[in-house]
Amino acid sequence: MARDESDREDLLREATALGRRAEFRLPGEPDTVTAGLRNDGRLSIWFGGDPAYHFDAEGRLRRAFVEGRLYRTQGTTLARLTRIRMPGATEMRRHDLDPDELADFIRRMRDRLARFAAALADGQAALLRSVPADDDAFVRDLRDRLAAILAAPAALAPAIRGKR
């Protein structure tokens, strides 16, 4: 993982775990949006380098990176992990979001995803690059996945094994 999580050079090239991925330019957005699917169906979306949202195959939020902080599902809430860098070590400080914090986080995430989904649906999202380059179905699949995530009640993935 990068020492500075917000320093992403080329997500499309770096995100090799995503078998299908693409980069888009959205109207009014200063940064590109990169989205990709793993072979097992997990979806990841980066708005520039921050925020980033990672969903499981069922469309439930698994992890996120927002405003320089990592978030990880605990099954019933999200844990906000703040990296405290010290010479020779990094400490992770954890805070489990209370219900109001979780609701605000989910609302902001869904607003961002809805704007992206609308740009895809309206043809306003300009496809800049994709891997593989000839995957014409990816945009349609991405649009369908976003529509399913936004149509369902917000859900968190089960807690990540081995993490508390």
Strand-pair category, 52-55 with 20-25? unpaired
In this structure, what token pair is assigned to residue 70?
């990592």
| Beta-carbon-side half-sphere exposure of residue 92 (alpha carbons within 13 Å) | 11
Q: Which of 6, 10, 34 is nearest to 20 (CA)?
A: 34
Q: Give the tens place of pLDDT for each residue, 116-148.
A: 999 999 999 999 988 888 777 899 999 999 999
**pTM here?**
0.88
The pLDDT value recorded for residue 10 is: 76
Q: What is the average pLDDT value for the chain, to the nearest integer?
A: 88
Name the band, by pLDDT with cuts 50, 70 and 90, for residue 1: very low
* Cα 130 → chain centroid: 17
Name the band, by pLDDT with cuts 50, 70 and 90, for residue 49: confident
Mean pLDDT of 2-31: 73
The pLDDT value recorded for residue 80 is: 96
The pLDDT value recorded for residue 2 is: 42
Round to whole Å and give the CA distance between 46 and 23: 9
Name the band, by pLDDT with cuts 50, 70 and 90, for residue 164: low
Name the band, by pLDDT with cuts 50, 70 and 90, for residue 5: very low
